[in-house]
Chains A and B, each alone.
Chain A
Amino acid sequence: MATEGLLDGARQLKIHGANGKHSPNVANGKANGVKLVRKNGLSPGVRNGMATDVHSKGKEKIRSKESFEEVPLYTAVMTYMGFYLLVVLGYLNQFLFAPPVAKEKNRKGYVPLYNRFEQFYSRYVYRRIRDCWNRPICSVPGAEVVLKDRITNDYGWTFEYTGLEKKCLNLGSYNYLGFAEASGPCAEESIESIKKYACSLCSTRHELGTSPIHLELEETTARFLGVEAAITFGMGFATNALNLPCILSPGCLVISDEKNHASLILGLRLSGATIRVFKHNNMKDLEKVLRNAVVQGQPKTHVPWKKILIVAEGVYSMEGSIVHLPEVIALKKKYKAYLFLDEAHSVGAMGPRGRGVVDYFGVNPHDVDVLMGTFTKSFGSAGGYIAGSKELVDYFRVNSHAACYASSMSPPVAQQIITSMRIIMGEDGTHEGQKRVMQLARNTRYFRRRLHQMGVIIYGNEDSPVVPLLVYMFSKIGAVVRTLVSKKIAAVGVGFPATPLMEGRIRFCLSAAHTKEQLDNVLDILEDIAERLGLKYSQLPRYKGVIQYEDEIE
């Protein structure tokens, strides 16, 4: 089992505050460069180290704060103890009582289908807090969301719907710019597009699945991102899984951030290229891996690599961190590597104009070789895109697995993206889009600063709308999510195996649709929960003054 040798290997954590201007919530002088060493979580190979390494020595741009505070030793010990206890009780439970689950019929003599530990884990550990996930909703996932009430009478084995509904403030959906709306221009134009193009073309892009709306979407996307061309696909996950393999082959090297999304990992695995992992957002480690790769060439033969591709995400959805894009671009240029940037969570949500991390750092979009992103989040739709030079996009048009074999995007889904993108660009003649981008930035800073002042540990960059609040213990994930829902707040809990065993967390996704009053309400409730459940783990100095909600951002 994976928990062997749990306390092996030291993990380094550095907390950097690059410049104090944007960070009133931490006494910067002290936090700056503080180096904390702590014991590692599980499987050092997979998740060893997670240092944030901001190379900004007060030069060039003001870099906002990114922090990964270490866990107090006592909490670490208690987290493991708690987990072991759950496992021991689980085995006892399994030994004493037959699980009330469906058994396989008519498959006598077949090799068992499932891994035993996997099954044990999902039945006896995960089940205890199973009610915190897959909760059905029955409304638009806007600033508020209506949850379908369900109860369990058998400790999580089965659920029953009570027929009641509960309206909650929505901090769980990826509705960053608040475009998940059942009325307004996006909804109206999408409805029009159903009348014009129907729901589906029942064909692939190579065959008869291209309609003018797809061409318009691709043209709009390219204009939005400031690049030559773009190609779009019907599913964000498939955009990574089906397109990465066509630019890579055996003999190519991929250098991938350890926190990359499952779709990227699947795409890389399908490509047959060699994969090396660098520590999350750690530029020193990236350079080390890059340099070593170019100098050493392929293992054994030392033949030079055909090409090297760096794969990173804009905003990491579980860590709340932002890629150090200028440094990555500098390294990529120095070592002649290519860069694939997945902007699933950042496009629309980051940057003064909402064009993603490229806009946030003010770098030239042409410096990123492959810009990838999804439309599920900020645009309130579905699907994904790949954008870049015309040559690159033409290559994908011809060779992409998704363009050749998967159905083309549904027209109303495409229209939602076009309309919301135009609003963000201000092409609708209003400042609505700009207002939303600013509102999200404001909400993000305010919420993160207030949480920090509260004394809880939050991960990531202070400009990232993804806010992971560390609760560490498995049982606390359940306790916090349940308490929040009882107080009419919908948030997401994430635990092992999606995160390392040590790092159970609650994730809040902020939205431009949230008002200050709504956030204040959440913060008051969180304050109460943090006090009662003991979540105030932070040992960093806290800001004592009153945190202002910024009215205007120039």
Chain B
Amino acid sequence: MGTYWIPTNIDELLGGIKEASLLHFFLEGFLVASLLWFIFRKSYKKRDVHSMSKEEEDRLIEEWNPEPLVSTPRQDHPALKPHVVTGKAGHYLDVDGHHCLNLATHNYLSFADKPEVEERAIQSIRKYGVGSCGPRGFYGTVDVHLELEEKLAKFMGMEEACVYAYGFSTIASAIPAYAKRGDVIFVDEAANFAIQKGLDASRSSIYYFKHNDVQDLERLLLEHEAKMNPRKAKVTRKFLVMEGIYMNTGNICPLPALLNLAHRFKCRTILDENVSFGTLGETGRGVTEHFNVNREDVDLIVGSMEWALGSIGGFCVGSSFIVEHQRLSGLGYCFSASLPPLLTAAAIASLEEIERNPTLMSVLHGKCQDLHNALSNLGEAGFRVSGFSEGPVKHLFLLNPPEDLGKHQALLHDISQYCISNGVAIIPASYLDQIEAQPRTPSLRITANVDLTKAEMETVIKVLKQAASKFLS
């Protein structure tokens, strides 16, 4: 039956071809060819994946030589021989056996070794032990955490506060809790490393504006607005991230102008007050108090308890609408053990000290100003001081630095060593140069302390001048 059926069909088929137009013929031919090509291409690709035999694969595995997990660091790196501080890091401290005036640690208010603060921490150990043994959600919320959050919110005059276990992770978790992929963040190029990590984690588009340059920010905002398609702009959140006092430069941010711009372009604002909290403003409420701006104009204020408060940890304050979100979305809040109760208690004690001493801030500002004036006279010695005069963080830059970065750093290192051996603890600011978003000019970072006296400042200047004449001439 089959033998009869096929030839007739072929005849019919050939007849069909003869009758068909040339165009029809080519069209059908093309369709068949492309169909075959599709099938062939797929199977070809698949075959490519599986074409290797097991032996070939084994040979590839045999031949593969991965890079070592880590490269060997250079053995003379300062981090491998860190300064060792024996005892407390108070107004004075012992570095590598030298008794030094402390101008290096961020103990601005001398709370790190204040007996009242220590006593509160000790009482806390006697009640709660050391660790909290759990994240905030899982029985890691101790009543002192609630007390500290309430106190911080009240102190800053905002609705709510949430406390993190580590200063670094506070801003690094707060930014990605709000900013997501597709959002836009404008940020000062001098922003500290924790902010940079928060930006990375958010996966948003990042625009750096020149340090403290409001015009440059405006230019970026206008450019962004112009190139944004309006439909997309409706769902793209914009953020402005700034520091109160920049850890990397010591400068204060021009907050009112920045907030004006943010308001105009409907940017939400995140303000990192890791240095300025507890040091700026008449009562230590930070840069918002210093400029007397309405704190509600800032969406989120992030502070640290590691510098002025002499404890560990960080916090965010803002409206409940904003802060509450972090309790479910702040990675470092949800997935980390909570702050040990003793450190929480120490932070509470420090906060109470600030509230109890209304003149503390004006004393600190006076000392910062005096130190700034004294350091400003080092121009002849070869230093340039940078930073807000009433702020506690100053950077001393070399006026004529060596061009080579390594030599530049080594020179500052030598100056620092000289100062330490002569009773003044001054250290270069430490950066990981390869991974900072912007190149950082090496500098000596000097911190002011509320207990500094005029005589001590004179010693500092004397030692720095001696160091300069030894290393810079």
By beta carbon, the residue of chain B nearest A215 is: B84
Chain B residues within an 8 Å CB radius of A397: 73, 77, 79-80, 82
Q: Determine if B104 and A208 form an interchain contact, defined as CB atoms under 8 angstroms apart.
A: yes
A126 smallest CB distance to B (angstroms):
8
B468 smallest CB distance to A (angstroms):
21
Q: Known A236-B337, A263-B335, A394-B73; judge A269-B201 contact (CB<8 A).
A: yes
Q: Determine if A307 and B67 form an interchain contact, defined as CB atoms under 8 angstroms apart.
A: yes
A192 smallest CB distance to B (angstroms):
10
Chain A residues within an 8 Å CB radius of B431: 404
Q: Determine if A141 and B133 form an interchain contact, defined as CB atoms under 8 angstroms apart.
A: yes
Q: Which of A18-26, A36-44, A405-413, A438-446 contacts B (4 or more CB under 8 A)?
A: A405-413
The distance in angstroms between the C-alpha atoms of A395 and B193, with both chains bound, is 19
Chain B residues within an 8 Å CB radius of A122: 328
Q: Known A136-B143, A208-B105, A238-B169; judge A197-B130 contact (CB<8 A).
A: no
The CB with the most chain B CB atoms within 10 A, among A172, A266, A392, is that of A266
Q: Which of A236, A266, A412 contacts B342 (CB 8 A)?
A: A412
Q: Determine if A200 and B311 form an interchain contact, defined as CB atoms under 8 angstroms apart.
A: yes
The distance in angstroms between the C-alpha atoms of A233 and B78, with both chains bound, is 18
Q: Determine if B112 and A172 form an interchain contact, defined as CB atoms under 8 angstroms apart.
A: no
Chain B residues within an 8 Å CB radius of A110: 237, 266, 268
A295: Cβ under 8 A from any B Cβ:
yes
Q: Determine if A198 and B77 form an interchain contact, defined as CB atoms under 8 angstroms apart.
A: no
Query: What 9 A-B pairs have minimum CB-CB distances, sorted nearest first?
Result: A237-B336, A206-B430, A235-B166, A395-B70, A406-B168, A376-B337, A416-B130, A173-B133, A140-B129
Chain B residues within an 8 Å CB radius of A338: 66, 69
Q: Which of B95, B167, B238 contacts A111 (CB 8 A)?
A: B238
Chain B residues within an 8 Å CB radius of A140: 127-129
The distance in angstroms between the C-alpha atoms of A306 and B391, with both chains bound, is 46
The distance in angstroms between the C-alpha atoms of A388 and B68, with both chains bound, is 14
Q: Determine if B337 and A201 form an interchain contact, defined as CB atoms under 8 angstroms apart.
A: no
Q: Determine if A412 and B90 form an interchain contact, defined as CB atoms under 8 angstroms apart.
A: no
By beta carbon, the residue of chain B nearest A173 is: B133
Q: Determine if A204 and B430 form an interchain contact, defined as CB atoms under 8 angstroms apart.
A: yes
The distance in angstroms between the C-alpha atoms of A140 and B307, with both chains bound, is 27
Chain B residues within an 8 Å CB radius of A336: 61, 64-66
B174 smallest CB distance to A (angstroms):
13
Q: Determine if B89 and A202 form an interchain contact, defined as CB atoms under 8 angstroms apart.
A: yes
Q: Which of A206, A307, A369, A375 contacts B82 (CB 8 A)?
A: A206
- State which residues 151-179 of B face A: CB under 8 Å: 159, 165-169, 172, 178
Chain B residues within an 8 Å CB radius of A305: 66
By beta carbon, the residue of chain A nearest B434 is: A399
Q: Determine if A134 and B327 form an interchain contact, defined as CB atoms under 8 angstroms apart.
A: yes
B5: Cβ under 8 A from any A Cβ:
no
10 intermolecular pairs with C-beta atoms under 8 Å apart: A102-B321, A136-B142, A140-B128, A175-B133, A202-B107, A211-B84, A241-B332, A247-B69, A401-B432, A412-B121
- State which residues 107-141 of B face A: CB under 8 Å: 107, 112-113, 117-118, 121-122, 125-134, 136-141
The distance in angstroms between the C-alpha atoms of A399 and B432, with both chains bound, is 7
Q: Which of A139, A396, A398 contacts B128 (CB 8 A)?
A: A139
Q: Which of B64, B169, B297, B427 contacts A294 (CB 8 A)?
A: B64
Chain B residues within an 8 Å CB radius of A547: none
The distance in angstroms between the C-alpha atoms of A104 and B146, with both chains bound, is 23
Q: Determine if B130 and A412 form an interchain contact, defined as CB atoms under 8 angstroms apart.
A: yes
Q: Determine if B129 and A235 form an interchain contact, defined as CB atoms under 8 angstroms apart.
A: no
A145-B139, A413-B343 are known; give 6 further A-B pairs, CB within 8 A.
A208-B427, A237-B331, A307-B66, A382-B131, A394-B73, A397-B79
Chain A residues within an 8 Å CB radius of B215: none
Q: Known A194-B121, A203-B106, A291-B57; judge A376-B320 contact (CB<8 A).
A: no
Q: Known A199-B343, A238-B169, A307-B66; judge A135-B141 contact (CB<8 A).
A: yes
Q: Known A173-B139, A200-B312, A206-B430; judge A238-B69 contact (CB<8 A).
A: no
- State which residues 296-317 of B face A: CB under 8 Å: 296-297, 299, 306-307, 310-312
B234: Cβ under 8 A from any A Cβ:
yes
Q: Determine if B193 and A405 form an interchain contact, defined as CB atoms under 8 angstroms apart.
A: yes
B164 smallest CB distance to A (angstroms):
9
Q: Determine if B88 and A198 form an interchain contact, defined as CB atoms under 8 angstroms apart.
A: yes
The distance in angstroms between the C-alpha atoms of A237 and B173, with both chains bound, is 11
By beta carbon, the residue of chain A nearest B339 is: A382
B14: Cβ under 8 A from any A Cβ:
no
A82: Cβ under 8 A from any B Cβ:
no
Q: Determine if B310 and A199 form an interchain contact, defined as CB atoms under 8 angstroms apart.
A: yes
How extensive is the interface on chain A, given as a class?
Answer: 35 or more
B399: Cβ under 8 A from any A Cβ:
no
Chain B residues within an 8 Å CB radius of A114: 325
B86: Cβ under 8 A from any A Cβ:
yes
Q: Determine if B332 and A238 form an interchain contact, defined as CB atoms under 8 angstroms apart.
A: yes
A284: Cβ under 8 A from any B Cβ:
no
Chain A residues within an 8 Å CB radius of B351: none
User: Scoring B residues 326 to 364 as 1 if CB is less than 8 Å from chain A, else 0, what string do you get?
Assistant: 011001101111011011001000000000000000000
The CB with the most chain A CB atoms within 10 A, among B106, B113, B178, is that of B106
B145: Cβ under 8 A from any A Cβ:
yes
Q: Determine if B125 and A191 form an interchain contact, defined as CB atoms under 8 angstroms apart.
A: yes
Q: Which of A170, A269, A381, A391 contacts B130 (CB 8 A)?
A: A381
Q: Known A200-B306, A203-B89, A208-B95; judge A376-B52 contact (CB<8 A).
A: no
Chain B residues within an 8 Å CB radius of A133: 137-138
User: Scoring A residues 530 to 547 as 1 if CB is less than 8 Å from chain B, else 0, what string do you get?
Assistant: 000000000000000000
A381 smallest CB distance to B (angstroms):
4
By beta carbon, the residue of chain B nearest A490 is: B139
B83: Cβ under 8 A from any A Cβ:
yes
Q: Which of B65, B140, B172, B336 contacts A236 (CB 8 A)?
A: B336
A353 smallest CB distance to B (angstroms):
22
Chain A residues within an 8 Å CB radius of B321: 101-104
Q: Determine if B340 and A136 form an interchain contact, defined as CB atoms under 8 angstroms apart.
A: no
The distance in angstroms between the C-alpha atoms of A396 and B79, with both chains bound, is 10
The distance in angstroms between the C-alpha atoms of A138 and B431, with both chains bound, is 41
A152 smallest CB distance to B (angstroms):
15
Q: Determine if B335 and A307 form an interchain contact, defined as CB atoms under 8 angstroms apart.
A: no
Chain B residues within an 8 Å CB radius of A306: 66-67
- State which residues 464-481 of A face B: CB under 8 Å: none
Q: Determine if B236 and A111 form an interchain contact, defined as CB atoms under 8 angstroms apart.
A: yes
B90 smallest CB distance to A (angstroms):
7
Q: Determine if B73 and A238 form an interchain contact, defined as CB atoms under 8 angstroms apart.
A: no
The distance in angstroms between the C-alpha atoms of A139 and B168, with both chains bound, is 28
The distance in angstroms between the C-alpha atoms of A322 and B242, with both chains bound, is 44
Q: Known A106-B296, A191-B125; judge A203-B105 contact (CB<8 A).
A: yes
A482 smallest CB distance to B (angstroms):
15
- State which residues 415-459 of A face B: CB under 8 Å: 416
- State which residues 352-387 of A face B: CB under 8 Å: 369-370, 374-377, 379-382
Chain A residues within an 8 Å CB radius of B319: 102, 104-105
The distance in angstroms between the C-alpha atoms of A238 and B166, with both chains bound, is 8
The distance in angstroms between the C-alpha atoms of A396 and B72, with both chains bound, is 10
The distance in angstroms between the C-alpha atoms of A307 and B70, with both chains bound, is 10
Q: Which of A65-73, A181-189, A514-522 contacts B (4 or more CB under 8 A)?
A: A181-189
Q: Determine if A199 and B64 form an interchain contact, defined as CB atoms under 8 angstroms apart.
A: no
Q: Determine if A202 and B307 form an interchain contact, defined as CB atoms under 8 angstroms apart.
A: yes
Chain A residues within an 8 Å CB radius of B132: 141, 376, 382
The CB with the most chain A CB atoms within 10 A, among B66, B194, B430, is that of B66
B461 smallest CB distance to A (angstroms):
21
B72 smallest CB distance to A (angstroms):
6
Q: Which of A135, A234, A266, A307 contacts B139 (CB 8 A)?
A: A135
By beta carbon, the residue of chain A nearest B308 is: A202
The distance in angstroms between the C-alpha atoms of A396 and B8, with both chains bound, is 82
The distance in angstroms between the C-alpha atoms of A139 and B133, with both chains bound, is 12
The CB with the most chain A CB atoms within 10 A, among B93, B130, B159, B297, is that of B130
Q: Determine if B71 and A111 form an interchain contact, defined as CB atoms under 8 angstroms apart.
A: no
Chain B residues within an 8 Å CB radius of A210: 82-85
Q: Determine if A262 and B331 form an interchain contact, defined as CB atoms under 8 angstroms apart.
A: yes
A174: Cβ under 8 A from any B Cβ:
yes
The distance in angstroms between the C-alpha atoms of A423 and B299, with both chains bound, is 48
